[in-house]
């Protein structure tokens, strides 16, 4: 027998205390606009606002998808409600009610701009992945990026996240509404600084110098670090949710129990009390951010590319392999951790085993193939910064270059195979895959949007990558895992 669909009307039927009824959803108003309401946002930031609503009903969320209507189509019939499963032992399932409105920007552009400009909106948050910022290799706005070029030609109908922010802030300034906090929750270093510079740069490039000056003076772009392993939704999760809550949910989400949101204290006045909802507010987020991106995300990408080459499917399977797990542990402790600064409140000696313990969580089926997506955008932040520091300090490079070579081989094989390569540089990588094998590393290193010129031109680095690539292509992965 079919179960009722989760919605405001059926919420009272939820089983196992999945809905804690700590606030009246009818009394909730929208105070946050979020760009990119995918699984990570709904598993990470939305539960924070959900906790806030128990004390203050002003912090409901309007989720704005910049391209696909899929989230709205799944959750609008559910009044924005969805289930969150916390994966550990016997997983817990909670219903999250913070998403009060779901919009698709190309379908409702005027409404999106009204939400961005509304006086009641006191915070904008984003999870649009690294590629959504349209940055060049130096971390500045890429004015030649197709989406940015589109937004320069048609600023009133933007395509990029940066374009929507510029247009929304333009409407906000024109209406005399004060500035607010715009909070990046994506995995790139200095995420707030890069986003703020990009939005102001687009405004200037559009010829609106007054807007650019206002953005720099009145809008806050705090740096953040976000962390919680969030596997993609699958049929097993849907079945778990049906069993636990007794209702049908079109798009539940799942994450590990561990979650962390660190944000610097450069927030605009009048925003939500994030600290009161468990967010760590600090004077300088850079140490936390760099440790997470380099240690956790760098190790994740390493496991993904080496694990896929070894025939593993999930993170837990890959890290449980003694050779691969040992390689990643040595990489983290001996090669990555020494490049990180001392940070108050962060114990690297404890952080490394904590990460590995999270990777081993048997309740999480985190697909290596999911982590492997968009490698050309992720590697500069997750691995290449560490390698550049190691080059500058004269540290060993052999182990660090193995995951870089593994990405190259994975990407080339995927681009040449029947399944599509999920990467914005897929066409260029396909051309590399069609070239003679002995030229492929040099062709990869010539991708300036991935490899900074000074790093690609470093002989030690290029030679180490070439050696690792040849070894992997020859099927001798075990030789490299012994490093």
Q: SS3 string of the chain?
A: CCCCECCCCCHHHCCCCCCCCCCCHHHCCEEEEEECCCHHHHHCHHHHHHHHHCCCCCCEEEEEECCCCHHHHHHHHHCCCEEEEEECCCCEEEEECCEEEEEECCCCHHHHHHHHHCCCCCEEEECCCHHHHCECCCCCECCCCHHHHHHHHCCCCCCCHHHHHHHHHHHHHHCCCCCCEEEECCCCCCHHHHHHHHHHHHHHHCCCHHHHHHHHHHCECCCEEEECCCCCCCHHHHHHHHHHHCCECCCCEEEECCCEEEEECCCCCCCCCCHHHCCEEECCCHHHHHHHHHHHHHHHHHHHHHHHHHCCCEHHHHHHCHHHHHHHHHHHHHHHHHHCCCECCECHHHHHHHHHHHHCCCCCCCEHHHHHCCHHHHHHHHHHHHHHHHHHHCCCCHHHHHHHHHHHHHHHHHHHCCCCCCCCCHHHHHHHHCCCHHHHHHHHHCCCCCCCHHHHCCHHHHHHHHHHHHHHHCCCHHHHHCC
- Residue 325: its pLDDT value, please? 98
- Residue 456: its pLDDT value, please? 97
359 and 460 fall within a common domain: yes
37 and 132 fall within a common domain: yes
Overall domain count for the chain: 2
Asked if residue 92 belongs to a domain, the reply is: yes
293 and 259 fall within a common domain: no
- Residue 88: its pLDDT value, please? 86
- Residue 188: its pLDDT value, please? 86
192 and 301 fall within a common domain: no
Of 190-199, 223-232, 472-481, the poorest mean pLDDT is in 223-232
318 and 264 fall within a common domain: no
Asked if residue 73 belongs to a domain, the reply is: yes
- Residue 399: its pLDDT value, please? 98
Asked if residue 5 belongs to a domain, the reply is: no
pLDDT band at residue 236 under the 50/70/90 scheme: very high
156 and 250 fall within a common domain: yes
Domain of 338? 286-481
Mean pLDDT of the chain: 96
**pLDDT mean over 178-206:** 96
Instruction: Read off the CATH number of the domain in which 330 is found.
Output: 1.10.1040.10
pLDDT band at residue 344 under the 50/70/90 scheme: confident
In the predicted structure, residue 22 carries a pLDDT above the cut 90: no
Percent of the chain with pLDDT over 70: 100
- Residue 89: its pLDDT value, please? 78
Asked if residue 3 belongs to a domain, the reply is: no
Instruction: Point out the domain boundary residue: 252, 282, 312.
Output: 282
- Residue 364: its pLDDT value, please? 86
In the predicted structure, residue 68 carries a pLDDT above the cut 80: yes
pLDDT band at residue 40 under the 50/70/90 scheme: very high
294 and 277 fall within a common domain: no
250 and 297 fall within a common domain: no
**pLDDT mean over 193-206:** 98
271 and 306 fall within a common domain: no
Instruction: Point out the domain boundary residue: 282, 307, 337.
Output: 282
Asked if residue 415 belongs to a domain, the reply is: yes
**pLDDT mean over 191-213:** 98
186 and 215 fall within a common domain: yes
240 and 309 fall within a common domain: no
- Residue 340: its pLDDT value, please? 95
Instruction: Point out the domain boundary residue: 282, 303, 321.
Output: 282
Asked if residue 169 belongs to a domain, the reply is: yes
- Residue 56: its pLDDT value, please? 96
Read off the pTM: 0.82
347-377 confidence digits (pLDDT tens): 999 999 999 999 999 888 889 999 999 999 9
Instruction: Read off the CATH number of the domain in which 200 is found.
Output: 3.40.50.720
- Residue 137: its pLDDT value, please? 80
- Residue 20: its pLDDT value, please? 86
Asked if residue 49 belongs to a domain, the reply is: yes
289-343 confidence digits (pLDDT tens): 899 999 999 999 999 999 999 999 999 999 999 999 999 999 999 999 999 998 8
- Residue 471: its pLDDT value, please? 98
117 and 170 fall within a common domain: yes
- Residue 363: its pLDDT value, please? 87
Asked if residue 1 belongs to a domain, the reply is: no
């Amino acid at each position: 027998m079919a179960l009722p669909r989760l919605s405001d009307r059926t919420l009272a039927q939820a089983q196992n205390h999945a809905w804690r009824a700590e606030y009246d959803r009818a009394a909730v108003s929208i105070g946050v606009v979020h760009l990119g309401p995918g699984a990570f946002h709904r598993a990470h930031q939305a539960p924070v606002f959900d906790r806030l609503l128990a004390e203050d009903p002003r912090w409901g969320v309007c989720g704005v998808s910049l391209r696909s209507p899929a989230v709205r189509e799944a959750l609008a019939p559910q009044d924005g409600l969805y289930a969150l499963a916390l994966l550990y032992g016997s997983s817990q399932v909670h219903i999250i009610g913070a998403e009060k409105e779901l919009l698709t920007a190309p379908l409702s552009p005027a409404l999106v701009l009204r939400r961005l400009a509304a006086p009641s909106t006191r915070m904008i948050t984003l999870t649009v992945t690294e590629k959504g910022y349209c940055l060049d290799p130096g971390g500045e706005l890429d004015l030649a990026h197709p989406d940015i070029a589109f937004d320069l030609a048609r600023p009133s109908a933007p395509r990029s996240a940066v374009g929507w922010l510029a247009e929304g802030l333009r409407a906000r300034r024109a209406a005399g509404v004060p500035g607010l906090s715009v909070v990046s929750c994506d995995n790139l270093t200095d995420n707030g600084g890069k986003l703020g510079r990009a939005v102001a740069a687009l405004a200037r490039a559009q010829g609106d110098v007054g807007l650019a000056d206002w953005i720099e003076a009145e809008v806050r772009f705090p740096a953040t670090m976000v962390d919680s392993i969030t596997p993609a939704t699958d049929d097993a999760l849907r079945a778990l949710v049906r069993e636990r809550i007794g209702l049908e949910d079109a798009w539940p989400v799942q994450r590990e129990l561990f979650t962390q949101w660190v944000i610097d204290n450069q927030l605009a006045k009048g925003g939500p009390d994030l600290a009161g909802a468990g967010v760590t507010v600090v004077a300088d987020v850079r140490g936390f951010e760099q440790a997470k991106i380099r240690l956790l995300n760098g190790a994740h990408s390493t496991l993904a590319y080496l694990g896929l080459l070894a025939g593993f499917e999930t993170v837990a399977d890959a890290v449980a392999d003694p050779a691969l797990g040992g390689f990643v542990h040595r990489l983290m402790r001996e090669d990555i951790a020494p490049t990180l600064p001392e940070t108050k409140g962060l114990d690297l000696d404890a952080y490394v085993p904590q990460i590995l313990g999270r990777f081993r969580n048997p309740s999480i089926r985190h697909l290596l193939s999911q982590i492997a997506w968009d490698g050309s955008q992720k590697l500069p932040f997750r691995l290449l910064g560490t390698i550049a520091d190691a080059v500058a300090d004269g540290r060993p490079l052999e182990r660090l270059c193995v995951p870089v070579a593994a990405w190259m081989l994975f990407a080339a094989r995927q681009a040449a195979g029947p399944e599509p390569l999920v990467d914005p540089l897929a066409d260029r990588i396909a051309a590399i895959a069609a070239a003679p094998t002995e030229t492929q590393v040099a062709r990869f290193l010539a991708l300036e949007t991935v490899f900074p010129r000074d790093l690609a031109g470093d002989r030690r680095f290029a030679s180490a990558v070439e050696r690792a690539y040849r070894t992997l292509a020859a099927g001798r992965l075990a030789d490299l895992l012994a490093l």
